[in-house]
Structure 1
Amino acid sequence: MNPTSPTTSPLSPAFAGHGHVTFLGAGPGDPGLLTLRAVEALAGADVLIAEPEVLEVVRGHARAGVSTPELTVVDEASTTAGVPVLRDAANLVMEAARGGRRVVRAVTGDPGLDGNAGAEMLVCAAEGIPFEVVPGVATAVGVPAYAGVPLRDAQGTDVRFVDARTADERCWTEVGASDGTVVVSTSLDSVAAAAGELVAAGRKPDTPLTVTIAGTTTRQRTWNATLGTIAQVFKQGKILPSPEGHRPVIAVVGERSAPAQRDQLSWFESKPLFGWRVLVPRTKEQAASLSDQLRSYGAVPHEVPTIAVEPPRTPQQMERAVKGLVTGRYEWIAFTSVNAVKAVREKFEEYGLDARAFAGIKV
């Protein structure tokens, strides 16, 4: 059987005795965009290798005890003449795989669009290390969707994708000659320069433009402008370079990003609590459901338990209370919280009692 066959799981006997690498697309930033296959691979990984911002996205689905080595560390044992030796991602991946471990190499967006991931796949192939690829939502597609900017219309608008960090003059000329939608991956301090390249290549200065930072996360923010006004909009708004590390800023150029249309389709940033930071002071066990509900409204929950539920200091207190219920000592019982109900139920189960013990008692 081909070890890279999609029908073969890295957890199956086919991989016993040697390592396996899963190149996994973590999407643009929202953990909810991880695929089912990605979650499955993370749950079975021995080693998880990713940039810090990607670790934030995938760590919650990794199994307990998974190793997360830093991408670049100082190997003091290999230091020569006082010069530290740096180990990059490919070295970390191969080292773990050679040791027979199941490795997940997670990258932003989709692995097929990540040049470094492609190079690491070639290294695996050269050494005979079995690997698989789990596609993810491409940043250049996912971010416009969260910004309320559909890239195509019913007439099949032409869509071009450009990475401003590697585009040359020929690339800008070809893109500028098109009147379709252009999706530009860039950095916040280079958006104006990219807009200038498109104008120089033939695009009209009044062509609509949207710029989105931290796309698909609750830190997302989108600006509307035109190719000719984006520099002024940023200057007036005192918008500084993005603190989002190397995560790209996505700019969408074309009529599909016109403000009138985006106002109707901006479903994410228009959530009622979008970007609000909300303190959840419930117990750790009870915070999850409230936090999930807050996230559905766009809020950022911060779980800080301010209370702890503990049993009575002396077990006899609870024993006397339960005995009083059974013997008819009490006429009323009041539960002050769901935690009190849970504690009494557990004590009932311990004594082999059930709700019939409340007969004749007002609750």
Structure 2
Amino acid sequence: MSQRVDVEAPDNAGPDDVAGRLCHGRVVFVGSGLSSADQLTRAGLRALSSATMLVTTPELREMLDEAGVEVPDKDATRFVGDLPDVARFVVEAAGDDQSVARFVRGDPLLEGNIADEVSAYIDADLMLDIVPGVPSLTSVTTLAGVSFPGQSVQLISLPYRAKTAEIPAAGSLAVGCYSSQAAMVARAAVEAGRTPDEDVLITFHGGTLRQHSEMSTIGTLMGKKSPIEPGDDRVSIVFGKASHRPEGMNWYESKPLFGWQVLVPLTRDRNEELIERLSLHGAHCTEVPTIDVEPPRNAAQLDRAIRGLVDGHYQWVIFTSVNAVRAVAAKVAEYGLDARSLSGLQIAAVGDGTREYLSTWGLIPDLAPTDVHTVAGLAAEFPAYDDIVDPMNSVLVPRAEIATEPLSEGLAELGWEVDDVTAYRTVRASPPPAPIREAIKSGDFDAVVFTSSTTVRNLIGIAGKPHAATMVAAIGPATAVTCEEHGLDVAVISGAPGQIELADSLAYGARRRAKALVEAGKPVKRPSQRRRRRTNKS
């Protein structure tokens, strides 16, 4: 049953006074994931996007920016290290009718040490919300493949200043602590009755691309040969039966591209699928733009073509790339028109990306074979001109400065009159920052994925040739040929010309490479690690 609450105002209070009593600022604590914004809950994303001020740490702000999470801009962000009294600042900010998001790592109450702040906000009569986060302790054990089926388990998360730990004498246990506390935790385990030879599983750098887990013993953690060096890094230590993982459970660190640094030369076409798929295989991607798109030097030809589209002078318009769609859409908008001006036209598209981008403009192509990824392939699928069925035989092909002869010649043979129009120019992008150029040349990248011949030529032109140790993956045979013409040894050629297929092919190549190293009795190291070892030897 709901209860009615009447808010009384003094007899002399005006409307603004009553509103002030009813409307307060808001503070919402949002818990992050372990090391990625991917683990944010929907409630957390909503709270961050609706906030007018963000109070967090530089590292967590960078995590949000890298993931493209909608948050207050940097002018409305304050870092806790710069605030002498965080609670006082937030109270004053929220008192000005701000909605303040306090973004903390892990779960706010379990790991965020926020009790004093919460008390201050309650005393200030602020609206308060706490959005739970994924605790780092449970995240790390999951990422390490630790399972607790049918077992009682205790979870202990030690704060930074903890000098002691209460460890149970038996049973499965997971302890999250700082590396400087590991020896103390081991001593506490022995004092509680556990034996020094009891096995433990240690996970370092949990949730990052440097994560690695190894078996040890309680006694080893107490001695000088402990694998844990004192410091401020968090580690996870699993005691008891759960420390022995079933075979194959080390799923995270076993991803084929785990820890790999992959260079992705970009065009203006979208590469979200490629980046996301590589990340799912465990890679960290660095994107380098290689192409800039500019208007044609003389726009008169494109202007005439757009007027012809609007006036119904064409039977078909063929888009061979996302850039072609962008160029036509921009020119149509200059005339104050939108996609409806193309009604009555038949539309063809080359490639999945082009088809998907057309859909964002509200257009569905009449011809876009899913298994066709080249202009020559589209020409082979294109219908012949029929003077009885087709009211006209004119086709518009907006394109880059580079001509599309296979398409134009193929359509002409089918009886169509092709108007080949330059809609945009592609030029080399500016060189990437010096540290990236140096990393490319020195072999700090484990792999590079090329999505076209243009990306090969332009990357080498603006940043130099990738190191010989870097694994080269090409989206198809034509791109592979261009790589070889520029002195690159191609290790992987995608079985189909798609972004997902390219990522999967690289992952398969990495797994095959690791298997070959094991069979040869060699340690499995990433290409960049083997390059550094050879450099050090020399």
TM-aligned CA distance change 1:110 to 1:161, over 3 Å: same
Q: Indicate the structure whose relative CO is greater, using CA pairs within 8 Å and at least 6 residues apart.
A: 1
Contact kept in structure 2, 1:26 and 1:109, CA below 8 Å: yes
Whole-Å separation in 1 of the counterparts to 2:49 and 2:155: 36
Q: Which residue of 2 aligns with 1:77?
A: none
Cα deviation 1:257-307 (Å, max 9, x = unaligned): 11x52x421111111111111122214661333221211111111222121
User: Unmatched 5+ residue regions in structure 1?
Assistant: 3-12, 74-85
Q: Is the 8 A contact 1:279 1:302 kept in 2?
A: yes
- Which residue does the alignment assign to 1:55? 61
In the alignment, structure 1 residue 304 sits paired with structure 2 residue 288: yes
Is 1:26–1:107's contact at 8 Å kept on the other side of the alignment?
Answer: yes
Q: Is the 8 A contact 1:176 1:199 kept in 2?
A: no
Report Cα offsets for 1:175-199 as digits up to 9, x if no partner.
242x212221212233233223312
Q: Which has the larger radius of gyration?
A: 2
Q: Is the 8 A contact 1:213 1:242 kept in 2?
A: no
Please give the secondary structure, in 2, of the residue aligned with 1:189.
helix
Q: How many angstroms apart in 2 are the aligned matches of 1:16 and 1:278?
A: 53
Give 2:257's aligned residue. Answer: 273
Match of 2:183 among 184, 192, 201: 192
Pick one of 36, 40, 45 that aligns with 1:39: 45
Shift of 1:320: 5.7
Deviations along 1:31-54, whole A, 9 cap, x unmatched?
111111000001101111112222
Q: Is the contact made by 1:47 and 1:103 (CA closer than 8 Å) also made in structure 2?
A: yes
Report the CA distance shift for 1:52/1:317 in structure 2 as closer, same or farther (over 3 A): same
Structure 2 counterpart of 1:182: 173
Cα 1:233/1:334, change in 2 over 3 Å:
farther
Shift, 1:95, TM fit? 2.2
- Residue 280 of structure 1: SS of its match in structure 2? strand
Cα 1:64–1:114 change in 2 (3 A) is closer
Give the distance between the partners of 1:89 and 1:181, measured in 2 at CA.
Answer: 38
Q: Please report how far the alpha carbon of residue 162 of structure 1 lies from its aligned counterpart in structure 2 after TM superposition.
A: 4.7
Q: Deviations over 1:131-159 (max 9, x none)?
A: 11111111111111111112x222x3232
Q: How does 1:96-245 map to 2 (within 5 A)?
A: 96-114=93-111, 116-150=113-147, 152-154=148-150, 156-163=151-158, 165=160, 171-172=165-166, 175-177=167-169, 179-230=170-221, 240=229
Per-residue deviation, 1:90:
1.5
| Equivalent position of 2:241 in the other structure | 255
Q: Distance in 1 between matches of 2:154 and 2:88?
A: 37
SS in 1 for 2:134: coil
Q: Residue 72 in 1 paired to residue 78 in 2?
A: no
Q: Is the 8 A contact 2:176 2:236 kept in 1?
A: yes
Q: Do the aligned partners of 1:160 and 1:181 also contact (CA within 8 Å) in 2?
A: no
SS of the residue corresponding to residue 44 of structure 2 reads: helix
Please say if 1:30 is aligned against 2:36: yes
| In structure 2, C-alpha distance between the alignment counterparts of 1:58 and 1:98, rounded to whole Å | 26
SS at match of 2:114: helix
* Contact 2:269–2:323 (8 Å) recurs in 1: no
Give the 3-state SS of the residue equivalent to 1:161 in structure 2.
Answer: strand
CA distance in 1, matches of 2:201, 2:288: 37
Q: Which runs of 5+ in 2 are unaligned?
A: 6-18, 333-337, 348-393, 396-414, 421-538
Cα deviation for residue 227 of structure 1 reads: 1.5
1:92 alignment partner, one of 89, 92, 105: 89
Q: Cα distance 1:283–1:163, how it changes in 2: closer, same or farther (>3 A)? A: same
1:301 partner amino acid: C
Q: 1:115 to 1:180 in 2, by over 3 A?
A: same
Deviation at 1:225, TM superposition (A): 1.6
3-state SS, counterpart of residue 193 of structure 2: coil
**TM-aligned CA distance change 1:280 to 1:148, over 3 Å:** same
Q: Secondary structure at the match of 2:237?
A: strand
Deviation at residue 208 of structure 1 after TM alignment? 2.1
CA contact (8 A) 2:163 2:181 kept: no
Classify 1:345/1:216 alpha carbon distance in 2 versus 1 (closer, same or farther; 3 Å): same
Equivalent-residue separation in structure 2 for 1:313 and 1:306 (angstroms): 20
Aligned partners of 1:284 and 1:303 also within 8 Å: no
Which deviates further from its counterpart, 116-125 or 302-311? 302-311
Q: Residue 159 of structure 1: SS of its match in structure 2?
A: strand
Q: Specify the code of the residue in structure 2 equivalent to 1:215.
A: G
- Classify the secondary structure of the residue corresponding to 1:38: helix
The offset of 1:104, in angstroms, is 0.5
Deviates more, 1:286-295 or 1:157-166: 157-166
Per the normalisation by structure 1, the TM-score is 0.76
The count of residues paired between Structure 1 and Structure 2 equals 325
Contact 2:268–2:293 under 8 Å retained in 1: no
Q: For the residues of structure 1 that align with 2:70 and 2:319, how far apart are their CA atoms?
A: 42
CA drift at 1:113: 1.5
Aligned amino acid, residue 315 of structure 1: A
Question: Is the Cα–Cα contact under 8 Å of residues 26 and 58 in structure 1 kept in the other structure?
Answer: no
1: CA distance, partners of 2:158 / 2:145: 21
Equivalent residue number for residue 302 of structure 2:
318
- Does residue 360 of the first structure (1) align with residue 416 of the second (2)? yes
State how far apart, in whole Å, the 1-side matches of 2:22 and 2:98 are. Answer: 10
What is the CA distance between 1:28 and its match in structure 2?
A: 1.8
Cα contact 1:287–1:303 (8 A) shared by 2: no
Measured in 2, the distance between the counterparts of 1:313 and 1:233 equals 70
The one-letter amino acid of 2:273's match is: S
How big is the shift at 1:327? 7.4
Q: Helix, strand or coil: the match of 2:197? A: coil
**How far apart, CA to CA, are the structure 2 residues paired with 1:93 and 1:26?**
19
Which segment is superposed worse, 35-44 or 302-311?
A: 302-311
Q: Give the whole-Å Cα distance in 1 for the aligned partners of 2:193 and 2:327.
A: 72
Aligned-residue offset at 1:310: 2.2
- What is the CA deviation profile of residues 110-145 of structure 1, one whole-angstrom value per residue up to 9, with x for unaligned ones? 111146311101000111111111111111111111
Tell me if structure 1 keeps the 8 A contact 2:53–2:77. yes
CA RMSD between the two structures: 3.6
> Structure 2 length as normaliser, TM-score?
0.53
Q: Indicate the SS of the match to 1:210.
A: strand
Give the 3-state SS of the residue equivalent to 1:228 in structure 2: helix
